[in-house]
Chain A
C-alpha cells in the first residue's frame, strides 16, 4: 500500500467514526486539530483499521502516535510485515 492509499483509508474510517463525510486529512494532521477526534474515536479508528486491513496492533504500537503521518508509518510496517 502506498502512503496515499493508507491516508485515504484512514480518512474514510475516521469520516465514518466522526460522521463527517467532508473530513480533510493530511500527514501532519493531529487529533487536536480535528473536531470530535477524542480518545474514544481514536480507539474506533484503530480497531476500524485492524478490521479493514486484517492485522492486529500491539498495545505498545498504538501508544504516543503524534500525527497522521506517524500512524501511516505504523500501518505501512504492519502491512509489509504481513506479506
Chain B
C-alpha cells in the first residue's frame, strides 16, 4: 500500500472484538477511559467511530469517570452539515486523550447562535467553540475582478471576528478557527497567484488574517487549509456531496479531519507527547550494528537506503530543536550502540542528544518504563519509533499508553509516518521549550536504570509462532553460510565456515546439523538459527556443540529453549547421553556468556581466557513448555524409532 495520509496509515487495525469491547466499555467496565482510548487508537471505519462515540456518550450519561481522558465540552458552529462529523470527532478525541462532549448548533446558524446570549452554544458552558466555516460562508467563493478584492476579504474576516467576539462576550468560550482550503478551480491558471482578486489570492490573504485573528482573540487555529493540501484539494472537496447533502468536504476526509481536531483538543488539554524514543537497528540506521559493524551501516547521503535513515535522524533532530526529548530503546550491546554514535562519520544524532539511553537485552516495555522513570514523565508522554512489528505489538500490548506508529516496510516513509501522526501537536512555542531538552539530557545523563523483566508468556503465545527444524540441505546452504559468517552477537563459538564447508557438512555422518526457521503472525522471519554438533572423538555417546548461533531479531522468544529441546530429542534417538557446550568469548558475544547456564547446563571447566565448557546429561533434561508450534524435517518417525542406527543405551536414556 502506498503512503496515503487520508487512510491514517500510522494507526493499527482495530481489534477483532472492537464492537463488543465498545459496548462493554459503555456499560460495565471500570477502567472505561483507558479502554476507550486504547480502542480509539486504531484506524476506525465510520461505523466503528459511531460505536465508540456511543460508548463515550453512555459513560457521560451515567456520569462515569473517564480518567485518564480529560473532559472537554466543545460547541460546534458550522456553515454546513456538521452532523456527520460528530461521532468521528468523539472517537478521535479519545485517541488523543480527551473525553469529548459536543454541543452542536443546527445547520448554518453561526451568526444567530453567536449573537444570541440565550442561544444553545452561549448557555452550554463549553470549553471552546469550533467555528467550522469555509470560503462559502466567508463569501469568498468567487473571484472579485475589477472591484476591490481586499474589501471582500476584509468583510469576510470581519464577520468571523464579530462571531468570535460575540461568543467571548455572551458565552465566555474561546474560539477554534479554521483556515480555508482553496478549491482547485483555476481561472487564469498559474497566473491566478498574481491576480489579487482570484480565489486563490483572496483565500491566501484571508488565511493569514484568520491566523492573526486566532492569536489576537486568544483562540486556537485548526489549519484545515494545510490538511486539505496534504490530502489533495480535489479529494478534499466533493461538489456532489456539497450539492446533495451540504457536506463541507468529502466524507472520505472525515477521519483525518477528526484526527486533526482531536490532536488540537489533546494539545489544549496538555496531552501532547514529550519524548521520542528511537529503536536503532533498521530504524535510525540501516543494518544491525552488532553484526554489520559501524562501517557496515547504511547511513550515507547519495545512497537511497541510507538517505531514508538520514531523514529519520533529521526529523528527530528537528523535533528536538523544538523541545521534544529524544531517547534510545534498542536491543543492542550498549557499548556497541554508543560506539556507532561516536564513530560513524555521517551520524547526525549524537550521544548528547539523548536524555536516556537504554541499549540492552531486556524487553522493550521494561526499558520504556525505565525511560519514563528516568525522565520523570508519564508513559503517555512517549512515542516509540520501531521498525519491528513484533516489538511494536509487544509494547502496545504491555503499555497501551505509549504511542507506537505503524511503519511500512520501506524505511523511506518512516519520517513521514512519524511526522504526519501528530503526536507532538502544539498550541504554543516558547524559548523555554527549547531549553527544556538540554535540562532533561543533563538530569538523566547516564542514569543507568535497572529494568526488570516481565512475564512475557501471554505476549509470546499471542505471536502464534511456528518454528521449523531441518538438517542442513542444499536449499538452505547459502543462507546457512551467511548466518555463520555474519552473526557476531548471539554466537557461542564464532566459528566461520565457507559455503563449501557447509555443503560437506550436509552429508557428514559424524555431524548433527540443524537449521531453524521461525514465522509468526506478522510474517516469516526466515532462517534465524544454526546448530552444529560433532560426535566426540573420545566418547561416541557425547555430542560437542561446535556452533550455536541465532539472529538477534528473535531474542526473548524462547527460540533457544525450543532449539535445545529439539537437539536433545534428536540426541536421544541417536543414543547420545551427553551434550558438551563451549563458549568462546569474542569482542561482540558477551550477551551469550551465560547461555548454557540459563539452559540448565553445568559448568565443567573455565580456562584463563574465559573459555568455558558446559555439560548437559540428556537423561536429566526435561523439555520446557514452549510458546510455539514445532515442526521438523528429520528422517525419524514421530514414535521415536529412527532410521539411523540406535544404540542400546538410547533406551536407558529415554527411560531416565
Within 8 A of A (CB), among B259-280: none
Would you call A58 and B240 a contact (CB within 8 A)?
yes
- Which stretch in A1-9, A25-33, A39-47, A72-80 binds the other chain? A39-47
**Interface presence of B632 (CB below 8 A):** no
Is A19 at the interface (CB under 8 A from chain B)? yes
Q: Which of A40, A46, A48 has the most CB of B within 10 A?
A: A40
In chain A between 12 and 54, which residues have their CB closer than 8 angstroms to a CB of chain B?
A: 16-17, 19, 40, 43-44, 46-48
Q: Determine whether B620 belongs to the interface, using a CB cutoff of 8 Å to chain A.
A: no
Q: Mark B48-77, 1 if CB is under 8 A from A, else 0.
A: 001000100000000000000000000000
Interface size class of A (residues with CB under 8 A): 10 to 19
Q: A40-B84, A43-B81 are in contact. Are A59 and B244 (CB under 8 A)?
A: yes
A66 at the interface (CB under 8 A from B): no
Q: Complex: how many Å from CA A17 to CA B585?
A: 65
Residues of B in contact (CB 8 Å), total 14
Among B47, B243, B251, point to the contact of A59 (Cβ < 8 A).
B243
Residue A70 interfacial (CB < 8 Å): no
Query: What is the bound-complex CA distance between A59 and B54, given in angstroms?
Result: 30
- The answer for the CA separation of A43 and B238 in the assembled complex, in Å, is 14
A44–B240 CB distance below 8 A: no
Give, as a whole number of angstroms, the nearest-CB distance from B243 to chain A. 4
Q: Is the CB of A57 within 8 A of B240?
A: yes
B46 contacts which chain A residues (CB < 8 A)? 44, 47-48
Alpha-carbon gap, A46 to B240, bound state (A): 12
Q: Is B188 in contact with chain A by the CB < 8 A criterion?
A: no
A54 to chain B, nearest CB (A): 13
Alpha-carbon separation in the docked complex, A43 to B46 (Å): 13
A57 with B54: CB separation less than 8 A: no
Q: How many contacts between A and B, using CB within 8 angstroms? A: 31
Of all chain B residues, the one with the shortest Cβ separation from A44 is: B84
Contact A43:B54 (CB < 8 A) given known A56-B240, A59-B240: no
Q: List the A side residues contacting B83 at CB < 8 Å.
A: 40
Decide: A19 and B54 in contact? CB cutoff 8 A: yes
**Closest CB of chain B to A8's CB: distance in Å?**
17
In whole angstroms, how far apart are the Cα atoms of A56 and B241 in the complex?
Answer: 10
Q: How far is the CA of A46 from the CA of B47 in the complex (A)?
A: 14
Complex Cα distance, B139 from A29, in Å, reads 41
Contact A47 B243 (CB under 8 A): no
Q: How far is the CA of A16 from the CA of B84 in the complex (A)?
A: 14
User: Are B244 and A16 in contact, with the CB atoms below 8 A?
Assistant: no
Name A43's contact: one of B47, B50, B84, B243 (CB within 8 Å): B84
Residues of B within 8 A of A63 (CB): 244
- B54: chain A residues at CB < 8 Å are 19
Alpha-carbon separation in the docked complex, A57 to B251 (Å):
14
B429 within 8 A of A: no
What's the nearest-Cβ distance from chain B to residue A1, in Å? Answer: 21
Rounded to whole Å, the gap between the CB of A19 and the closest CB of chain B is 7
Q: Specify which of B47, B81, B243, B251 is in contact with A40 (CB 8 Å cutoff).
A: B81
Residues on the A chain within 8 Å of B240, using CB: 56-59
Query: For A44, what are the chain B residues with a Cβ–Cβ distance below 8 Å?
Result: 46, 84
Residues of A within 8 A of B (CB): 16-17, 19, 40, 43-44, 46-48, 56-59, 62-63
**Could you list some 8 contacts between A and B, CB below 8 A?**
A16-B47, A17-B50, A40-B81, A40-B83, A43-B244, A43-B247, A44-B84, A47-B251
Which 3 residue pairs of A and B lie closest in terms of their CB atoms, listed nearest first? A59-B243, A59-B244, A40-B83
